[in-house]
Amino acid sequence: RWWQLPYYWVGIKLYDLVAGSQCLKSSYVLTKARALELFPMLRRDKLVGAIVYYDGQHNDARMNLAIALTAARYGAATANYTEVRHLLKSPDTGSGRQRVCGVRCRDVITGKEFDVRAKCVINATGPFTDSVRKMDDQEVPNICQPSAGVHIVMPGYYSPDNMGLLDPATSDGRVIFFLPWEKMTIAGTTDSPTDVTSHPIPTEEDINFILSEVRNYLGPDVEVRRGDVLAAWSGIRPLVTNPDSKDTQSLSRNHVVTVSDSGLITVAGGKWTTYRAMARDTIDTAIREHNLKAGSCQTMGLQLEGAQDWSPTLYIRLVQDYGLESEVAQHLASTYGGKAFEVAKIAQVTGKRWPIVGKRLVSEFPYIEAEVALGMKAGLAWLSHSCQLFCFTDTFQRICLSKGAPVTIKNLPELAQTPSFVFSLQEELETAKTFLYYEMGYKVKTDQLTDSSEISLVPSDIERYKKRFHMFDKDKKGFITIVDVQRVLQSISVQIDENTLHEILNEVDLNKNGQVELNEFLQLMSAIQKGRVSGSRLAVLMKSAEEKLRRRQPIPVDRSGGGL
């Protein structure tokens, strides 16, 4: 509505004002025509205008790792894949009360348990906050209200390369956005109560909610299809109520720091944006409550691992000094900062004229084998060997988020065969596949086409698809095999290697008997028409072959006018 434009403009200008000198760029208003020019996929009918504002974007997996590496550089002892079993307590010499003096830990890889003693124990466990608080006091009320947020990855054409869309007021009051990310588009989000789990799983209901909201903003010429969802994942937001507040029902995205009677310090809530303020407030509380000796807070201006030698032109040096592709060099510079040179130094020679070094893990994306090698080197050095295939480096997650879970599953064996990978291969492959299948949305994607999928095609479409199928099934067997497909491809001079053909047929072979039956093919075409499946290589291959064979049929003499 027209009045919303000045209303949101004032709000966004206040956003700029609060940012002060750290405001990235000043916000501005776009007319309807200009908004459609920059974001051509928007719906025209209800559009009045738009407001452009600037915000920061980061790779949260890489950020998490950079903070741990920085902590290690300053002397922190880090332990990955480690869980707290219970708190250790001892009587206070002055008051006689039980005070927390450490934790009993368990290495989840080896099962080994050990004690860690400390003057102060801080509970900074996100959605698991209350479970640790109850280790201290079973009667303490919960302060954490976990909320599930689901995001989906869609093809890059759903948003421009350098601009996203956000609406803070959707049909049910939740925020909707779709933003460019790693050549793709990330859309979200949901906000619903959930149980706390280490392995949150996106549901079909959440995915469809996001898709229905996205449809409200895009023009009718952009068909928003369920099959375009390349990956999906669910995260848990640790929303909190302040235990010291009278209004205990109000949830907050701000953080709270509390101290129990036994001295356990808990920091809960918060968000990435304020993580340094959270750390400062928590450590200040620890120093005050436990009489620790420390100087003033040093977090302001402290650079994370890799930031020291970074510059906007660093990638040019990587291209010139090592012979990396420009896209790969930009990726390494933005991901590793000054540490990108460590990756470049161990990058493999390609044997080509260009690039000289840097073998890609997936041809369409700039992630290279040397990143796996560096991740393994770091894992062996400071993760106490608790390093697994699906998260030994954030490279794996980036491939999944940008390319989609099915492609990542396909590349798993190749990734695990890199020279640097030294762990139990089969076990790690299965663990990684389980992670991708359930937690990155591959299961809900494969559920769109099963052997019980309904065929809802009109009779004319059924006849058309049957004719296409029988062009491959010349013997009228009722199914097609790799041999049938190879025969047709040879007749139109198209070559596809046998392994690729196996993969293409396996995508549609629902009962996994090594052949695609007519019913399975009709189920596929029905799912494509409904938008539940997209990008089926078999469907595209068969349609292309049909068109080429039709063009090669001789023209009847009577239609050529009896000429030569």
Q: Are residues 46 and 73 in the same domain?
A: no
DSSP label of 349: B
In a domain, 427, yes or no: yes
Q: Can you tell me the distance from the alpha carbon of 129 to that of 238, in angstroms, rounded to the nearest whole number?
A: 8
In a domain, 498, yes or no: yes
The confidence score (pLDDT) of residue 186 equals 92
Query: Which whole-number Å values give the CA distances from 85 to 116, 351, 433, in the listed order?
Result: 11, 52, 28
**Over the stretch 531-541, which tens digit does the pLDDT of each residue have?**
777 778 888 88
Q: What is the average per-residue pLDDT within 137-144? A: 91
Is residue 255 within a helix (H) or strand (E), and if so which, with residue range?
strand 255-259
- Domain C-terminal end among 24, 39, 56: 56
Span of 244-248, 356-360, 390-394 with lowest mean pLDDT = 390-394
Residue in the block written with tokens 């050549």: 183
| Mean predicted lDDT score pLDDT of the chain | 83
**Over the stretch 169-187, which tens digit does the pLDDT of each residue have?**
766 677 888 899 888 899 9
Q: Are residues 329 and 399 in the same domain?
A: yes
Q: Can you tell me the distance from the alpha carbon of 177 to that of 466, in angstroms, rounded to the nearest whole number?
A: 41
DSSP label of 156: G
Q: What is the average per-residue pLDDT within 82-105? A: 91
In a domain, 98, yes or no: yes
Q: ∠ CA(324), CA(326), CA(330), 5° rounding? A: 100
In a domain, 564, yes or no: no
φ, ψ of residue 412 in degrees (nearest 5): -55, -55
Burial class (CB in 10 A: 0-12, 13-18, 19+), 517: buried
In a domain, 395, yes or no: yes
Q: Are residues 396 and 326 in the same domain?
A: yes
Nearest to 158 by CA among 89, 209, 229: 229
In a domain, 539, yes or no: yes
The confidence score (pLDDT) of residue 520 equals 83
**Over the stretch 282-307, which tens digit does the pLDDT of each residue have?**
999 999 999 999 988 999 889 999 99
Radius of gyration over every alpha carbon of the chain, rounded to an integer in angstroms: 28
β-bridge pairing 265-269 and 122-123: parallel
Q: Report the domain count for the chain.
A: 4
Q: Are residues 346 and 435 in the same domain?
A: yes
Q: Can you tell me the distance from the alpha carbon of 266 to that of 223, in angstroms, rounded to the nearest whole number?
A: 47
Q: Are residues 127 and 267 in the same domain?
A: yes
Task: Write the DSSP assignment of 178-224 as a string of letters.
Answer: EEEETTEEEEE---EE----SS----HHHHHHHHHHHHTTB-TTS--
The pTM of this model reads 0.78
Q: ∠ CA(227), CA(229), CA(234), 5° rounding? A: 140
The confidence score (pLDDT) of residue 548 equals 84
Q: Are residues 13 and 103 in the same domain?
A: no
Residue span of the structural domain in which 442 resides: 313-448
Helix axes 482-491, 498-506, angle to 10 degrees: 120
